[in-house]
Chain A
Amino acid sequence: KAGVTQTPRYLIKTRGQQVTLSCSPISGHRSVSWYQQTPGQGLQFLFEYFSETQRNKGNFPGRFSGRQFSNSRSEMNVSTLELGDSALYLCASSWGSGSSTDTQYFGPGTRLTVL
Chain B
Amino acid sequence: AQSVTQPDIHITVSEGASLELRCNYSYGATPYLFWYVQSPGQGLQLLLKYFSGDTLVQGIKGFEAEFKRSQSSFNLRKPSVHWSDAAEYFCAVGPTGTASKLTFGTGTRLQVTL
Q: What residues make up the interface of A, taking CB atoms closer than 8 Å to B?
A: 4, 31, 33, 35, 42-45, 48, 50, 55-56, 58, 90, 92, 94-96, 98, 100, 102-109
Contacts and interface: CB of A to CB of B under 8 A. Distances in A.
6 closest residue pairs by CB, A with B: A43-B104, A106-B43, A106-B44, A102-B99, A100-B51, A48-B100
A106 B101 CA distance: 13
B83 to A, nearest CB: 22
Given A56-B98, A108-B41, 15 more contacts: A4-B43, A35-B104, A44-B104, A45-B102, A94-B99, A96-B100, A98-B98, A100-B51, A100-B52, A102-B99, A103-B49, A103-B99, A104-B102, A108-B43, A109-B43
A58 B103 CA distance: 10
Contacts of A90: 43-44
Contacts of A95: 99
Given A42-B106, A43-B90, A45-B103, A102 B43 contact: no
A91 B90 CA distance: 16
Given A42-B107, A43-B90, A107-B43, A98 B97 contact: yes
Interface of B: 36, 41-46, 49, 51-52, 90, 92, 97-107
Given A106-B36, A108-B42, A56 B49 contact: no
B46 A56 contact: no
B39 to A, nearest CB: 10
A45 B92 CA distance: 11
A94 B97 CA distance: 12
A94 B100 contact: yes
A56 B106 CA distance: 22
A105 to B, nearest CB: 7
A104 B51 contact: no
A88 to B, nearest CB: 9
